[in-house]
A and B are shown apart, each in its own frame.
Chain A
Amino acid sequence: MSDRLITDIVNAGVNPVDHILRTDRMPHIWCPGCGIGTTVNSFARALIDSKIDLGSLALVSGIGCTGRVAGYVKLDSFHTTHGRAIPFATGLKLANPKLNVVVYSGDGDLSAIGGNHLIHAARRNIDLKVICVNNLIYAMTGGQTAPTTPGHSTTSTNPYGTFEPSFNLPHLVEAAGAVYVARWTTFHVRQLARSIGEAFQKKGFSFIEVISPCPTLYQRRNKLGDGLDTMKYYKEKSKVRHGAPTGEVGLTMTGEIIVGKFVDRDRPDYQTMMRTQYCESLGERFVEQEEMVCS
């Protein structure tokens, strides 16, 4: 596969994921060594491999470095407000259930300012695919402490070290009701693409966390080296443990990173439950939602 990929690039002079990107917006704003672009590449590969209809795929981002993904993909794409990608995506999906809706955003956006929406969308089991790029920090604004920042890290707002406990996101979303939960790092590009493909096969709230370096702020302030050093760390300290109890996958600054598919279960999604309830309660009075397009 990779040999053919390289041949494709050399022969065609284009990257095989180019048709999924807004190439007219390149170069992007991400720093050297940042992992977000790597996740976008895995995402694009997953779209190609799973033969998803790109015309019925919408991508919604919030605010922050990862929030800029919406602006670089050649899809119907929405760059919303800080923390509110999930409720926007909820409205989009409910109005047009035929859409595949992906939420692509960062850890601060999804779990701090948007934390309430994250747990409620998981509880409702809204059919959304959430890709959470977790760089352990607020990067766009200059490296402030996030709810995901591991203890004893140095950040611009905890210059003497963080001391508040951090969120274990897979544990949080599993408890709230997600049907699919996986974690990879930006070292695991193929596994990540495979997980994104699997999430597209699920009907319900799917959550994929991608641990990603921020060499400019997190790694530098914590003397953890550059992007390449972080790749080495991910390679050496990641352990694949599919089905690991999510309560045991919390992150530390330099310790082991448990990766893999943690949760894969089925329960009816919001729209299925809504329809069932209306059919039961209203019988023939229930009117199926048509396409709402008001021409």
Chain B
Amino acid sequence: MKADPRGVLTGTHFIDGDHACCEGALAAGARFAAGYPITPSTEIVERFASRVPTVGGTFIQMEDELAASITLQGAVWGGAKAFTVTSGPGFSLMMEHIGYAAMTETPCVFVDVQRGGPSTGLPTLPAQADMMQARWGSHGDYEIIALCPNSPQECFDLTIKAFNFAEEFRVPVMFMMDEVVGHMTEKVVIPPADQIEVFPRKHTHKSVEDYLPYGTNGDQVPEMAHAGEGYNFHVTGLTHDERGYPNMTPPVQDKLVRRLQNKIRDAADRISLFEEDQLEGADVVVVSYGITSRVAQRAIEAARESGLHVGKLRLITAWPFPEKKIRELAAKVKSFVVPELNLGQMVREVERAAAGKARTFAVSHAGGGVHRPEDILKVIVEASRCQTA
């Protein structure tokens, strides 16, 4: 369906990534946010708090991130599209409710504008060090989707995508920004509402008698009902059967947890978004995401100018990790170079997917700034000289 025009600020704007993310949420139909202030993410909900009473919706500032991350889920079951925003320390506090959203299949979006850690770390400076936490931070086995914008324009476009994935797969989607992208001001074009595709909630059309809250009809994603519609359904974070009733037996656990995993894994090709450039004939492929992809661009261009065959693979979807793409490339290229603002997170995924067929070089950075392009270039040169694995 098309976006509700009331939430769409059509036009050309000069705004930062945080504000663009807020506009993306409004365009996607989000009418509820719960938050707790934390730098460098707060501007998103500040703008939402200012905008949402003029489009018909609610913002509530909660007492902490534990509250914010579950209040939004209450709102989802009340019928809203909802999200929260945070940064590292708050993201840590939200982990239990990312698990709850995964287990109860509550469609929602968690925005993490990453800053340097661990702990309080670098409140106003960038990092990309929550990438593994986004995937694995809550306990137990589950799958999420994570997207990484690298510009204010993408903060708008991909926030809509994040809500659409959340609704389509009934899964919490992590929107992994970083401080630089969040605070970078650039041109953002917001199209007319009738050019914005919005995925509607998978609301059941079944009768009360026929409705099974966690029945799947073959496509692995159950249909949803909202409170107050007469379905008298039950939702629990306990292991549950298709009726939503607790059933703590190994067969029910196996069926449920595998489905939660497979509904994402089986659609991984469709969810995996990336930007590629000159991969054909490349000896070295630079794999990057978020702000680092823009720094890497300069290193890639410099390497090409000196005659090296360097391809670019920019991850837009970090999770599920596009391992098929890496596997295919690994058979053709000498090596991968993975710069990121952490001491080695997504590089491990690249290495795992390459499975020894191509060599993998990390370009790590502890955060607080971005790489110098020459540091990436140095590793590209080294990687181009290595023997094929």
Q: Which residues from chain A sit less than 8 Å from chain B, CB to CB?
A: 22, 25, 54-56, 58, 60, 70-71, 74-81, 83-84, 87-96, 98-99, 116-117, 120, 274, 278, 282, 285-295
29 contacts between A and B (CB under 8 A): A70-B234, A70-B236, A76-B77, A79-B238, A79-B246, A80-B237, A87-B70, A88-B71, A90-B71, A91-B32, A91-B78, A91-B82, A92-B227, A94-B60, A96-B78, A96-B228, A116-B63, A285-B54, A286-B54, A287-B54, A289-B57, A292-B57, A292-B75, A293-B79, A294-B29, A294-B80, A294-B200, A294-B201, A295-B200
Cα distance A79–B246 in the bound complex, in angstroms: 10
- In the complex, chain A residues whose CB is within 8 Å of the CB of B200: 294-295
Distance to closest chain A CB from B364 (angstroms): 35
Kindly supply a per-residue 1/0 record for chain B positions 43-61, scoring 1 wherever the CB is within 8 Å of any chain A CB and 0 otherwise: 0000000000111111010
Contact residues of B between 140 and 178, Cβ < 8 Å to A: 167
Closest to A279 in B: B53
- In the complex, chain A residues whose CB is within 8 Å of the CB of B238: 79
- In the complex, chain B residues whose CB is within 8 Å of the CB of A117: 63, 67
Distance to closest chain A CB from B6 (angstroms): 7
Find A98's partner among B29, B71, B77, B228 (CB 8 Å cutoff). Answer: B228
Q: Is the CB–CB distance between A56 and B82 below 8 Å?
A: no
Cα distance A58–B233 in the bound complex, in angstroms: 10
Find A56's partner among B6, B228, B231, B233 (CB 8 Å cutoff). Answer: B228
List 8 extra interface pairs beyond A79-B238, A116-B64, CB under 8 A: A55-B230, A78-B235, A91-B75, A92-B227, A94-B74, A95-B76, A96-B79, A292-B32
Cα distance A232–B34 in the bound complex, in angstroms: 47
Q: Is the CB–CB distance between B77 and A278 below 8 Å?
A: no
Q: Which residues from chain B sit less than 8 Å from chain A, CB to CB?
A: 6, 29, 31-32, 34, 53-58, 60, 62-64, 66-68, 70-82, 96-97, 100, 167, 200-201, 203, 226-238, 245-246
Find B78's partner among A71, A95, A116, A295 (CB 8 Å cutoff). Answer: A95
Q: Is the CB–CB distance between A91 and B73 below 8 Å?
A: yes
Closest to B203 in A: A295
Find B53's partner among A77, A81, A287 (CB 8 Å cutoff). Answer: A287
- In the complex, chain A residues whose CB is within 8 Å of the CB of B54: 282, 285-287
Distance to closest chain A CB from B353 (angstroms): 34
Q: Which of B31, B70, B72 has the most CB of A within 10 A?
A: B70
Listed from nearest, the 8 A-B pairs whose CB atoms lie closest are: A91-B74, A95-B78, A91-B75, A79-B236, A293-B79, A91-B71, A92-B74, A292-B80
Find B31's partner among A60, A71, A93, A289 (CB 8 Å cutoff). Answer: A289
- In the complex, chain A residues whose CB is within 8 Å of the CB of B74: 60, 78, 87-95
Cα distance A65–B81 in the bound complex, in angstroms: 32
Q: Is the CB–CB distance between A76 and B53 below 8 Å?
A: no
Closest to B234 in A: A77
Closest to A113 in B: B66
- In the complex, chain A residues whose CB is within 8 Å of the CB of B57: 289, 292
- In the complex, chain B residues whose CB is within 8 Å of the CB of A290: 56
Find A94's partner among B32, B227, B234 (CB 8 Å cutoff). Answer: B32
Cα distance A81–B77 in the bound complex, in angstroms: 15
- In the complex, chain B residues whose CB is within 8 Å of the CB of A289: 31, 56-58
- In the complex, chain A residues whose CB is within 8 Å of the CB of B245: 22, 25, 71
Find A95's partner among B55, B80, B231 (CB 8 Å cutoff). Answer: B80
